[in-house]
Structure 1
Amino acid sequence: MNKLSNNAQAMLFGFGAVVLWSTVATAFSISLQHLSPVQLLIIACSISLIFLLALTAVKGDFTKLKQEAKNSWKASLFFGTINPFLYYLILLQAYDTLPAQEAQAINYTWAIVLSFMAVPILKQRLKAKDYIAACACYFGVLYIATRGELSDLEFSNLPGVAFALFSTFIWASYWLFNAKDTRPSLIGLTLNFAFALPLILTYAAFTGELSEWNSEGLWGAVYVGLFEMGLSFVLWNKALKLTTKASQVANLIFLAPLLSIIWLSQIANEPILPSTLVGLGCILIGLFIQNSANSKQQ
């Protein structure tokens, strides 16, 4: 059997990451039935940190990690505050308030937010397709938020929608600032989680979330930490390093929300609303338009 080409391996690694990401909404939904968002974040962040530390040690970069922690502790604290602390705290609030199918669909509009925020921060210019993509995506968000009742404009859960939209701004901000981060990617991510965990624990202590834990949500939180915050990063990073066609790997991300809908209905037993399917379709069309425009530009 011939050895797979680098691009073929990249697609396999990318697909593996996307499959893991597609299960996260289900894990969130199940775990949040037993844990608060902060409790889920504490467990997931701890597991992810253990995984990343172990991976760093296996790669022989532990000495570099300690040195980088001393030299760039301000950057590590800054990035760790944004992600995982603020981002996942807000995102999990969205999942705790909205049906998981709605929260995950709205969260996928972060790429649109990124393109608009890049204008003042990175001095990039918007194309006509960027505006068309934004219109398609946010029409989808509106359709999901009103559950198809556009004429009445009555939002089914305005706080939940606000949390989901706010998470897209935090995530987009993280990637814009991350573009200027000079730390090695694995070491930087590990330090982000190391500096974020004390912040999460402090917040949990002030809000009284360190008591009355329900062990039934433990394994879901462990799954989130290991796969959503840990292994998926390794697979995706490997895919991007192997491929010579980044746009092909990036296109795999469109599978995640579609697979997620299947897992939510079959595993979490969450009835899928017609408004979610219509809204998600609009969001995916918008993302495809934007992605195709960016691919041609590159």
Structure 2
Amino acid sequence: MSTDRRAMLFGLGAVGLWSTVATAFKIALTYLSPLQLIWIAAIVSWLVIGLLMVRQGKLGDALSSGWKTAAWAGLMNPVAYYLVLFAAYDRLPGQEAMALNYTWALAMGLLAVPILKQKLTLVDVVSGLIAYAGVWTIATRGQVVNVAFADPLGVGLALISTLIWALYWLFNARDRRAPLVAQWQNFSVGVPVLTLLLIFGPGLEGFTLKGVGAGIYVGLFEMGIAFVLWQVAVQTVSRTAKVSNLIFLSPPVSLLLLYFVVGEPIMASTLAGLVLILAGLLLQQWQKSPAPVSEKSS
């Protein structure tokens, strides 16, 4: 098997797993609060990635350096990002939260102007306008003129999560830690913080077997295995765009799973908004090659 074909298979595996997470989030949040879900998922992901690092002999390196960066990066991911994202999924239909979350890449392009001093091109502006027209369509559920927000707080949380994720990657642009080491260190910081929030917040009661199982699935596949598969795909493919464009397969698969598994009817406003968002993202990618980072969309 050629290296590129193997990379594509790994990339498809990651995208396939990410396509299930909107459904997994909605199912898990019927049994758990957002804080309970992220706590279980973060512990599972921390353990999985830790075992991989032990196997690769990287644990010693992770313990010896890089903790200054992890101190703030871990508060952004997993703590702030997933708490806000899960709160959005708790309030919105999965299809709306998922579609709005896809605008993080555009947010990153716009925020790179003041943070990394990059120039904003005409294509950036046009792609942003197209994508955020899709956001408006989804947020108003098709009432684009006679505005009627069904859940403005939920929409606000979904968009804030995209800003947090975009800022996380921008601040990490100069991070020299290996991706696997960085992920484990960040979760090493995040898990104790989440534990304290849980103890002094809702407490450790109220967990059910189904809820714990759903949390394990999210931690194992959304934050753990999918990250590793995507990392391998991006690092081994001859041209990053070959695998980065696979991510556009995820939204339609996610919508179908939400429909068949959760029973969410697919709203016309979601389809129209998602088409606009994906069109904006494709236009942005057409302009320049994606950066070779282990990015994801949930």
Judge same fold: TM > 0.5, yes or no.
yes
CA contact (8 A) 1:25 1:264 kept: yes
Partner of 1:286: 280
Contact 2:241 2:290 (C-alpha < 8 Å) held by counterparts: no
Match of 1:20 among 17, 20, 24: 17
How many equivalent residue pairs?
A: 292
SS in 2 for 1:106: helix
One of 37, 60, 79 as aligned partner of 2:57 = 60
The residue number in structure 1 matching 2:32 is 35
Q: Does 1:92 align with 2:89?
A: no
Q: What is the aligned partner in structure 2 of residue 196 from structure 1?
A: 190
1:29-178 matches, cutoff 5 A: 29-68=26-65, 72-178=66-172
Residue 257 of structure 2 is matched in structure 1 by 263
User: 1:88, 1:39 → 2: CA distance?
Assistant: 11
Q: Aligned partners of 2:272 and 2:178: how far apart in 1?
A: 40
What letter matches 1:10 in structure 2? A
Q: Which residue of 1 aligns with 2:215?
A: 221
* 2-structure distance, mates of 1:217, 1:80: 24
Report Cα offsets for 1:219-243 as digits up to 9, x if no partner.
Answer: 1111110010001111111011111
Q: What is the letter of the counterpart of residue 114 of structure 1?
A: M
Could you tell me how far 1:23 is from its partner in structure 2? 0.4
- What is the CA–CA distance in structure 2 between the aligned matches of 1:271 and 1:209, rounded to whole Å? 35
Aligned to 2:154, the other structure's residue is in SS state helix
Q: What are the equivalent positions in structure 2 for 1:228-267 lying under 5 Å apart?
A: 228-267=222-261
SS at 1:267's partner residue?
helix
Aligned partner letter, 2:40: I
Offset at residue 208 of structure 1 (A): 2.0
Offset at residue 297 of structure 1 (A) = 11
AA of the residue aligned to 2:9: L
Partner of residue 180, structure 1: 174
Runs ≥4 in structure 1, deviation > 6 angstroms?
none
1:205 correspondence with 2:202 = no
Deviates more, 1:276-285 or 1:212-221: 212-221
Q: Distance in 1 between matches of 2:7 and 2:182?
A: 23
Structure 2: 5+ residue stretches without partners: 293-298
Tell me if the contact between 2:106 and 2:128 (Cα under 8 Å) persists in the aligned partners.
yes
Alignment-mate amino acid for residue 29 of structure 1: K
Q: 1:203 to 1:7 in 2, by over 3 A?
A: same
Contact 2:4 2:236 (C-alpha < 8 Å) held by counterparts: yes
> How big is the shift at 1:206?
2.6
Q: Does 1:9 align with 2:3?
A: no
* In 2: Cα distance, 1:297 partner to 1:56 partner: 24
Q: What SS class does the counterpart of residue 295 from structure 1 fall into?
A: coil
1:101-139 deviation line (CA, Å, top 9, x unaligned): 000100000011000110111111111111111111111
Q: 2:295 corresponds to which residue?
A: none
TM-score (norm 1): 0.95
The CA distance in 2 between the partners of 1:184 and 1:141, in whole Å, is 34
Are the equivalent residues in 1 in contact too, given 2:41–2:219 (CA < 8 A)?
yes
**Tell me, which stretches of 5 or more residues in structure 1 are unaligned?**
none
| Length-normalised TM-score, structure 2 | 0.95
Note the aligned Cα RMSD (angstroms). 1.5
